[in-house]
A and B are shown apart, each in its own frame.
Chain A
Amino acid sequence: MLLPLGSFGVITLVSFLGLTRDGSWSPRYSGYLTIAAIFVAFALSLWALDGAIDADGARVGFDGHKWVVVGELDVHIGITLDGLSAIMLVVVTSVSLLVQVYSQEYMRGDGGYNRYYAFMSLFTASMLGLVLASNIVQLFVFWELVGLCSYLLIGFWFYKDSARRAATKAFLVTRVGDLGFLIAILIIFSETGKLGIGDIHEAAIAGAVGSTALTLFALGLFAGAAGKSAQFPLHVWLPDAMEGPTPVSALIHAATMVAAGVYLVARFFPVFAESDEAITTVAAIGAITAIIASLLGIMATDIKRVMAYSTISQLGYMMMGLGVFGIVAAIFHLFTHAFFKALLFLGAGSVNHATGTFDMRRMGGLAKYMPVTFWTVFIASMALVGLPPLAGFWSKDEILSDAWDDRPWVFVVALIGVFLTAVYVGRMLFLTFGGEYKGGEESEHGEPGVHSEPHESPTLMLVPLVVLAVMAAVAGLVNIDDGLKTLIEGWLPRESEELVTHGGFQWWIALSSTAAGLAGLGVAWLVYGARVVESDRVRHIAEPLPEILENKYYLDWLYEEFFVRGLVLGGAAWLLSLWDRYVIDGAVNGVGTVARWSADQARLVQAGQAQLYASVMLIGVVGAIAGILIIDPK
């Protein structure tokens, strides 16, 4: 089990090698080296998965090595390898591998080629570390590391103002959630004195933690998860994060890092299961997020933003799944979603490669020019909508039936979500690939120049697309016979395992979700495909919804104008500056002024005349002798 750690080391080493910029190091090597390292990691992950399957998903990791011991604080760095982390390992390394291969072509000619691969390997390493962490502090460290990599990669084209802004925004917004995570760590440490993940589970189940503290702990963790997984109301950073290179969006902001929040909640499922309030919050936030994000997806014109909103809403689905105790369904959805969403993003990158734009209004008719991209994206889209027998169908269906079992209102919300998903997916497909080609723009990477005619992408970019398309098509079948059930549940303590919902396959749920999906596609076809209904008229009927959506529910405005400019800059910062200026500065300057004034007075004594000094000395001596005689006359 040391091997995943070894792969982690290899990749870290590669990161540093990739950073060296001496002349003998051709940029291509860093790409090859990263791909090789991640391939090894992928092979090792498969091995780890095999081990986890043999152990029925139970924990086969080991507690390593003493890391920090200060008084009561005792942090052991270690590795957790169980069904859950094994699945995550495979998802991370496989998607990462395909994305790196794709990037070889996509990033060709970019000045920051070395840097790109260094960041990407650092990210993959951090993500593996996060997944394998056996200690909540260790988890937090890697959690922040992936956040850092996300920041670096969003701002990869740092000479673009929008990219810099987006990177800062992502960093700050997720930091709000991470604050909750940090508070949660402090709470659990002060309550139990333990930081190992397994110890925390035991303490939570044994009732060693007060119920209020437990709820606060779970909510704090969820705040961190909501920040990282872009859940309402912290989802605002993810759409802007699309400023990064498209493969980055595919790997980090679709398949892996944003799933870290879901992973965190799943990892602490025993804790959430003990607190009714916490798990209800998870379900409610997931439901809200799924709906609002898919509505936003219908309005977005940038193909990557459509997918960003789609990612947010799918993450909402996973949270809903966790919220109804459906941990198997949620992780299963994470698994399938990683493949088809990465594929959608890579497809978007491929489209950008051909047309030079992400604006869907300037595309159109691409199915004719780029058949491979079209068909792979088509498969991924149908998987996203949840049409059988593609991957998304099986996982989404499982969340739906778990929801029906546990909380029917979540089921209703999720079904509406399926319909909305289908609408925006259909709109995206018809705008991008249907109709006539409308021009395009300059490319965001490589050599500039407008392509007169869009063309299919190079083979190196198409291979990952095809592989992912196959995965998107068949990944759903692995759980058809509850194959993932034991794997995902095996590590849970018995008490928590009993709480897990298993909705099972029900024909009417499958049919209704498929029907909702087809209905959504139908609506999209009416408006954007056949243009039977003018989209302007739909917009007119739905007043004032479109305005609200175009302004993203005014959340950005609320955050920037009200919280940042109003409360922070106007209120807190103003008060603090007054405090600073008058109290702190006043104290500092006051000390100086008093010293200067008293010195001004005192220096007059130093007249420089020896006779004066001698006189004062005489007075002093006489005074001292008189004093001694008065006190002790003998």
Chain B
Amino acid sequence: MSVNLEHYLIVGAVLFSVGLYLALAKRNFVAVLMGIELMFNAVNLTFVAFSRFVRSPNPLDGHVFVVFVITVAAAEAATALALAVLLYRVRDTINVDRIDLLKW
């Protein structure tokens, strides 16, 4: 059994859904960040898969894109974790349900 584009896409979709569920449903801010990370990786996987299986005049575009996403995601993760630390210091919690200052 050979591994085709569909398999990569299914894995990517499952990963993305899991990440989305985490980001929307988890109360823990760090878990939410992990969900977001998962979604990044799902997207990266999809990019690489398309880049591998679809013929194009610029075959490396998908790979380059992924490298950029990983870089930006690293920066994002650092910022977000710093936010989490500060949030914990100020509010004594990292439960996102309690962070509703924009309410009404």
Interface residue ranges, A against B (CB under 8 Å): 603-604, 606-611, 614-615, 618
CA gap between A614 and B102 in the complex, in Å: 14
A242 CB, min distance to chain B CBs, angstroms: 70
Which residues from chain B contact A607 at a C-beta distance below 8 Å?
A: 100, 103
**Interface residues of A: mostly helix, strand, loop or mixed?**
helix
Chain A hits for B103, CB < 8 A: 606-609
B32: which A residues are within 8 A, CB to CB?
611
- Is B53 among interface residues, defined by CB-CB distance under 8 A? no
From the candidates A603, A604, A608, A611, name the one contacting B23 in the complex (CB within 8 A): A611
Known contacts A606-B104, A609-B97, then 17 further A-B pairs from the complex at CB < 8 Å, ordered by chain A residue = A603-B104, A604-B104, A606-B103, A607-B103, A608-B101, A608-B104, A609-B99, A609-B100, A609-B103, A610-B96, A611-B25, A611-B32, A611-B96, A611-B97, A614-B23, A614-B24, A615-B24
Q: Is the CB of B20 within 8 A of A618?
A: yes
Query: Chain B residue with minimal CB distance to A604?
Result: B104
What distance in Å separates the Cβ of A121 from its nearest Cβ neighbour in chain B?
Answer: 68
Closest to B27 in A: A611
A200 to chain B minimum Cβ distance, whole angstroms, is 70
A-B contact pairs, 19 of them (CB 8 A): A603-B104, A604-B104, A606-B102, A606-B104, A607-B100, A607-B103, A608-B99, A608-B101, A608-B102, A608-B103, A608-B104, A609-B96, A609-B99, A611-B24, A611-B32, A611-B96, A611-B97, A615-B24, A618-B24
- The distance from the CB of A1 to the nearest CB of chain B, in whole angstroms, is 78
| CB pair A608 B24 closer than 8 Å | no
Q: What string of 1s and 0s marks CB contacts (under 8 Å) between B30-73 and chain A? A: 00100000000000000000000000000000000000000000
Distance of A307 Cα from B92 Cα, bound (Å): 97
Residue of B nearest to A611 (CB): B24
User: Which residue of chain A lies nearest to B102 when distances are taken between CB atoms in the complex?
Assistant: A608
Q: How far is the CB of A493 from chain B (nearest CB, A)?
A: 81
Q: In the docked arrangement, what's the CA distance between A609 and B27, Å?
A: 11
Known: A615-B24, A618-B24. A608 touches B96 (CB 8 A): no
Enumerate chain B residues within 8 angstroms of A608, measured Cβ to Cβ.
99-104
A614 vs B32: C-alpha distance in the bound complex, in angstroms? 12
Contacts of B102 in A (CB 8 A): 606, 608
Distance between Cα atoms of A277 and B78 in the complex (Å): 100
Give the complex CA separation of A618 and B101 in angstroms: 22
Bound Cα distance from A609 to B25, whole angstroms: 12
Bound state CA distance, A614 and B23, in angstroms? Answer: 9
Q: Report A230 CB to chain B, min CB distance, Å.
A: 69
Q: In the complex the two chains form, what is the Cα distance from A604 to B103 in whole Å?
A: 9
Separation of A521 and B4 alpha carbons in the complex (Å): 134
Name the 5 nearest CB pairs between A and B, nearest first. Answer: A608-B103, A608-B100, A608-B102, A603-B104, A615-B24
Bound together, the chains give a CA A614 to CA B25 distance in angstroms of: 10
* CB closest chain-A residue, reference B96: A611
The answer for the CA separation of A611 and B35 in the assembled complex, in Å, is: 12
Question: Chain B's nearest CB lies how many Å from the CB of A581?
Answer: 34
